[in-house]
A and B are shown apart, each in its own frame.
Chain A
């Protein structure tokens, strides 16, 4: 099987099947059952830019399944600083490993790596491009909460221009017939080509600057971080950041089963008062990164996840 570069690499049936695998792997992800499905396999972690959750959850996923991990380590001490091309780096790691998880600051790097490699590449983020493994854990979290993916109303809020998580997620949600509301400052609107792509696939998409006015009948509110460095003017940043901050008091009129998600790290966009409400799902979401990536690693390595998972406790 080829790698996972964008969500277009998976059909809806494959997505649902991987999410089902992930569901069954939950006790393994929690460390309650040891299931060495990937024993003898090696994951190459190539993170050319900083990552906490993605890198660590890939590593945890591999180790929970009995596999091993080799890391590129700090880019500053690797051959990359000596001017090595991505092509050459991939040739080397391709020979050392069975599968590669990669994050790179340049857009298109994951596809480029896949075209240069024998082993599958898992795109862990390429510039402002795609982040499909994040999308899989997001879909898992939504399905866990609502029991389905189809026909939900999802508000995506904050930095929709540069936030690669929302780009991949939007494409996937539209394929399941979700209604999307894009709530962002004008400066950080969803890129035009993505909106027109989504609409050409028949998507019901609304763009607005009013987050609070969009929340009443939403099933999911997906917050993202607004980065100060995107603004030339500090006052403008302060105004925008303030307009896209959720407090517990803002959630009094929302649906009971509405969930608040965030790819993390958060800064100010979700007040800690939200953490203790029934709506907060971002920490479970981060945990789900392990189980979703376990299921993806199995799928891309051609390893079947047993229909029934039983086993000895650790």
Chain B
């Protein structure tokens, strides 16, 4: 099945953001990381497990009337670092955004370990997670050194 065919599963959007090439099954986590849920007012379309030439299968999200910010892209990097993000204006791709997962993720999420010094949110130093492995993603807190529980990251978004 072609990529074009899979894209037609949902209608083209006039203005907003398309996040393509999300690893299969990760779309819900992407929405969670972006804070997009039931209370979001704008229309959101989501397709999961559609065939992809490049990935075998993939997820796609389309968010209408909302353009992702840099801080949202930084969060996206933690669940779908290889996703493609396009800003759509008047039905055309106006901008392609690059997701950049560096060696360290600073002030995006806080450490998932309950006894880390950074759990005191009044402490002013930046929240720093080191990328120790990219695929599959492994993060460790710069301060306490604990490996991060990726499934808990979404609830620790700053």
Distance A129 CA – B125 CA, assembled complex (angstroms) = 19
B142: chain A residues at CB < 8 Å are 108, 111
Distance A78 CA – B147 CA, assembled complex (angstroms) = 33
Closest to B118 in A: A108
B117 within 8 A of partner (CB): yes
Q: How far is the CB of A168 from chain B (nearest CB, A)?
A: 11
B146 within 8 A of partner (CB): yes
Distance A126 CA – B123 CA, assembled complex (angstroms) = 16
Render A36-64 as a binary contact track against B, CB cut-off 8 A, 1 for contact: 00000000000000000000000000000
Given A108-B141, A115-B125, A116-B125: A193 and B147 interface contact (C-beta under 8 Å): yes
A112 touches B147 (CB 8 A): no
Q: How far is the CB of A208 from chain B (nearest CB, A)?
A: 24
CB neighbors of B among A83-132 (8 A): 83, 85-87, 104-109, 111-112, 115-116, 126-130
Distance A85 CA – B123 CA, assembled complex (angstroms) = 6
Distance A126 CA – B146 CA, assembled complex (angstroms) = 13
Given A108-B143, A111-B143, A127-B144: A86 and B116 interface contact (C-beta under 8 Å): no
A184 within 8 A of partner (CB): no
A112 touches B145 (CB 8 A): no
A288: chain B residues at CB < 8 Å are none
B145: chain A residues at CB < 8 Å are 6, 107-108, 111, 129-130
Closest to B113 in A: A107
Q: How far is the CB of B22 from chain A (nearest CB, A)?
A: 28
CB neighbors of B among A215-255 (8 A): none
The interface residues of chain B, by DSSP majority, are classed as loop
B40 within 8 A of partner (CB): no
A193: chain B residues at CB < 8 Å are 146-147
A107 touches B123 (CB 8 A): no
Distance A87 CA – B121 CA, assembled complex (angstroms) = 12
A87: chain B residues at CB < 8 Å are 123-125
Distance A85 CA – B124 CA, assembled complex (angstroms) = 8
B116 touches A108 (CB 8 A): yes
B123 touches A127 (CB 8 A): no
B5 within 8 A of partner (CB): no
Q: How far is the CB of A159 from chain B (nearest CB, A)?
A: 16
Closest to B140 in A: A193
Distance A115 CA – B122 CA, assembled complex (angstroms) = 16
Kindly name the residue among A6, A104, A106 whose own CB sees the greatest number of chain B CB atoms within 10 A. A106
Distance A86 CA – B116 CA, assembled complex (angstroms) = 13
B143 touches A112 (CB 8 A): yes
Q: How far is the CB of B115 from chain A (nearest CB, A)?
A: 5
Given A6-B145, A112-B143: A106 and B119 interface contact (C-beta under 8 Å): yes
Given A6-B145, A193-B147: A112 and B123 interface contact (C-beta under 8 Å): yes
B11 within 8 A of partner (CB): no
Q: How far is the CB of B54 from chain A (nearest CB, A)?
A: 31
A107 touches B125 (CB 8 A): no
Q: A106-B117, A128-B115 are in contact. List 10 more A-B contacts (CB 8 A).
A: A106-B120, A106-B144, A107-B117, A107-B143, A107-B146, A108-B116, A108-B144, A112-B123, A126-B144, A129-B144
18 contacts between A and B (CB under 8 A): A6-B145, A85-B120, A86-B117, A86-B123, A87-B123, A105-B115, A106-B115, A106-B119, A106-B144, A107-B115, A107-B146, A108-B111, A108-B142, A108-B144, A108-B145, A115-B125, A130-B145, A193-B147
Chain B positions within 8 Å of A, measured between CB atoms, are 111, 113, 115-120, 122-125, 141-147
